[in-house]
Structure 1
Amino acid sequence: MVSFDDTFRRQLHELFVWRRDVRRFRTDPLPDGSIERLIEIACLSPSVGLSQPWRFVIVDDAARRRAVIDDFKTCNADALRSYSGERAAKYAALKLSGLEEAPGHLAVFAEKSDQIGSGLGRATMPETSEYSVVAAICSMWLAARAEGIGLGWVSILNPPRIHEILEIPDAWKFIGYLCIGYPQTECDRPELEQAKWESRRGPGEFTIRR
């Protein structure tokens, strides 16, 4: 059995500490095959019923990218209108997407067909298909950080519009749109915490015993 020593465990902890949701990217291109390699790692993730429901769409086409950016701008403007006063000013100042600078765009979907994995483990919780895809994204996120590559998850998008732009089957559920590239800077604190939007709390606030 493979064992991992204290040095590895300390380095793994550092990887978790330094993982960031990146919004500010350099425009330098990624080495050929970088995104494909990260997808390979994502596919090592666990999935309910070994269904492997993840579906990855590498978005290279400039027109499709522009359409995604335009959709983000529309959705972001709508979101801004939901705030008022100081909170609205803070929201307007946030950089919530690296879509224009990041060299890599990756859309991630969950294939919801019950035929995959024969429905095992989903009779009472069918949403575990989506959870499996999120786990795959998290694996990719950490692997990217270990290579000095940043990943930003853009959630301010209209899923039906993304399906339309990318011509995706209706059975695939949109999970996330990822910007991938080299970060401008590195920091061990989330950008939203630095902007005083929210602060990170300790595990004691989220843990109970029964």
Structure 2
Amino acid sequence: MNNHNDPFTEAQREGLYRAIFERRDVRSQFLSDGIPNDVLARILKAAHHAPSVGFMQPWDFIVIDSPVVREQVLASFNEENNRASENYTGERRKAYRNLKLQGILESPINLCITCDRSRGGPHVLGRNSVMEMDLFSTCLAVQNLWLAARAEGIGVGWVSILDQTQLSEILQLPDDVYPLAYLCLGYVSEFLEHPELQTKGWRSRLPLAELVHGNRWGLPLEHQALNRYFKED
């Protein structure tokens, strides 16, 4: 076993960055193959080892394989997706309606990662000024899970077009528990070379050099040589 103080080997660093750069939000490429229990357990363990404010660990994981539950979630998605399409007009609305934005029934497993906003009591260390830190902490658990899943060859898709009140009712969540991320998990036919919304022409990745500031908003970096390392995808 590696000493925790040992530096990562070059291969380990490459594996980490590969998972980061090849992670995709999967909607259309799910296979019906089930996820072995040991693989799912490793992914959940990775999520559980995310950092959290005050070490409150506000997350819970609801593993959903019930067709009945998933049909209810899909109905909520369809309703919200129809409403969302009304935000656009003309060709943009047509393009939106042609996008596949969920794999609720196609993926073998759905997973809801929740945030218990009462965990740790009313005064959580580090949460005095920014009360949303519990939500941010749970997002880190989502990212841990996503990267671990990619390393295991598992695709993940985040279904964000859901009414959170309806979802809470479907999953019978307690009042203080917020359904932060509804995810679809499964093996996939392929991981796309680029994010699907980029491939479909919905949006492009912003140049990193335009997003890095020095000391204050809008000021350039003092070390301009850093910009040459910002390579676009």
Could you say whether these structures have the same fold, taking a TM-score greater than 0.5 normalized by the shorter chain as the test?
yes
1:78-135 alpha-carbon deviations (Å, 9 max, x no partner): 1112211111011011110011200010111111116349411011001010000000
Query: Are 2:138 and 1:130 aligned?
Result: no
Contact 1:41 1:143 in 2 (8 A): yes
Q: Give the TM-score normalised by structure 2.
A: 0.86
> Cα gap change, 1:53/1:78 in structure 2, threshold over 3 Å: closer, same or farther?
same
Over 6 Å off, 4+ runs? none
- 1:12 is matched with which residue? 16
Secondary structure in 2 matching 1:107: strand
In 2: Cα distance, 1:2 partner to 1:191 partner: 37
Moved more, 131-140 or 111-120: 111-120
Could you tell me which of 162, 166, 177 is aligned with 1:157?
162
Q: CA RMSD in A?
A: 1.4
Of all paired residues, the percent bearing the same amino acid is 38
> Cα gap change, 1:73/1:115 in structure 2, threshold over 3 Å: closer, same or farther?
same
Q: Give the TM-score normalised by structure 1.
A: 0.95
1:52-103 alpha-carbon deviations (Å, 9 max, x no partner): 0011111122211110011111111111122111110110111100112000
- 2:92 is matched with which residue? 87
Give matches, 1:183-194, under 5 Å: 183-194=188-199
> Cα gap change, 1:187/1:114 in structure 2, threshold over 3 Å: closer, same or farther?
closer
Secondary structure in 1 matching 2:37: coil
In 2: Cα distance, 1:54 partner to 1:181 partner: 21
Aligned residues: 210
Could you tell me which of 21, 32, 47 is aligned with 1:27?
32
- The structure whose RCO (Cα within 8 Å, separation 6+) is larger is 1
